[in-house]
Amino acid sequence: MLNLPKKVTIIEVGPRDGLQNEKLFVPTVIKKQFISRLRNAGLQEMELTSFVSPKWVPQMSDAAEIVTDCLDADARNIVLAPNRRGVDRVYSTDCQAVAVFVGVSNSFNLKNINKTTKDSMTELVPIISELKEKNYFVRACISTAFYCPYEGKINESDTIKLCQEFVDAGVDELSVADTIGMAAPDECFALFSQLKSLFPHTLLTAHFHDTRKLALANIFASLQAGIDRFDTSAGGLGGCPFAPGASGNVATEDVVYMLERMGIDTGVDLNKLIDAIEVVRPHLSRQIESGYYRLHAQTV
């Protein structure tokens, strides 16, 4: 028998992961409309933006304005912060959910955050305690959980060790990422099965990039391991500027289509999701290539 949940939570990462790698600056007003329409499509948990250095990621330089205008009291509004400065910037807003991010691979973490993995954890562990004391929702994004563009295959035990450090620090959620879209379904099943049994009280989310078109298969394998939360990006946009090979995230519309076809409730309206993609599409430097979007475009 297949192990399928009745309901899956989609965490929309389009406004953050989706746009952070876009070459041309997407106007702030368009980002706000994109977020608003994504909400209208039923996406209740969303990464809105990131409080990172605007020199490193110019696309996210309007983070403060996005947060000021896009918080929704009925939704989980997540913003990324890599360090003390980022978290202090979050404190100056009304946002209540923060995502920190660290790579299992040292080489990747140095390229992405300019620190070793160990130094990032030394900085973040007390910050996480502080956030929890202040009642923030804390999500930890674990990059290069399977493969690294610089170091190759990552040991499962190293990923589990980093997850354990975050759980011990008190995070609410682990978002475990195949940053460069290289994991295979059996590897996803193996890692997520272990994480499920090791961390039964932590929300576990899978974050797949679709570089090798294995993301849907990986989601299916992760469902079998008991995962019912997935990060996805409308239009399949996305990629990390510091991880060569991190092409788009798995497309929200393809994931919703697959899950709903299997009778799994996502709460997402596909037509309204397409409306959200249409807002941002003219401002992108790339084509929308998701299967569901292309089929839809042919029939209208």
Does 117 engage in binding with ligand HMG (CB under 6 A)?
no
240 is catalytic: yes
By C-beta, is 89 or 281 nearer to ligand HMG?
89
Cβ-based neighbours of 15, under 8 Å, separated by 6 or more: 31, 34, 35, 38, 46, 47, 48, 49, 66
Does 20 engage in binding with ligand HMG (CB under 6 A)?
yes
Rounded to a whole number of angstroms, the minimum distance from the CB of residue 92 to ligand HMG is: 12
**Unique residue bearing structure tokens 């569901």:** 292
In angstroms, the CA 109 to CA 267 distance is 35
Rounded to a whole number of angstroms, the minimum distance from the CB of residue 236 to Mg ion is: 12
Q: How distant, in Å, are the alpha carbons of 87, 146, 161 from that of 98?
A: 8, 23, 21
Q: Which positions from 37 to 56 touch ligand HMG by CB under 6 A, shown as an x/- string?
A: -------------xxxx--x
List beta partners, residue 129. none
What is the number of alpha carbons within 13 Å of residue 110 lying toward its C-beta?
7
By C-beta, is 65 or 275 nearer to ligand HMG?
65
**Unique residue bearing structure tokens 């896009």:** 70
Does 178 engage in binding with Mg ion (CB under 5 A)?
no
Residues in contact with Mg ion, counted by CB under 5 A, come to a total of: 1
**Unique residue bearing structure tokens 């309206």:** 269
Q: Which positions from 147 to 186 touch ligand HMG by CB under 6 A, shown as an x/- string?
A: ------------------------------x-x-------
The one of ligand HMG, Mg ion, none whose footprint includes residue 153, by CB under 5 to 8 A per kind, is none
- Of 11-40, which residues contact Mg ion (CB under 5 A)? 17
Single residue of 59, 77, 105, 112 touching ligand HMG by CB under 6 A: 112
Does 101 engage in binding with ligand HMG (CB under 6 A)?
yes
Single residue of 28, 44, 114, 224 touching ligand HMG by CB under 6 A: 114
H or E element at residue 177: strand 173-178
Does 273 engage in binding with ligand HMG (CB under 6 A)?
no
Scanning the chain, the segments in alpha helix (DSSP H) are: 19-20, 28-40, 63-70, 84-91, 106-113, 117-133, 156-169, 185-198, 215-224, 252-261, 270-280, 291-299
Does 47 engage in binding with Mg ion (CB under 5 A)?
no
Single residue of 26, 43, 57, 223 touching ligand HMG by CB under 6 A: 57
Rounded to a whole number of angstroms, the minimum distance from the CB of residue 250 to Mg ion is: 10
Q: Are 232 and 98 in contact (CB under 8 A)?
A: no
Catalytic residue numbers, as ranges: 240
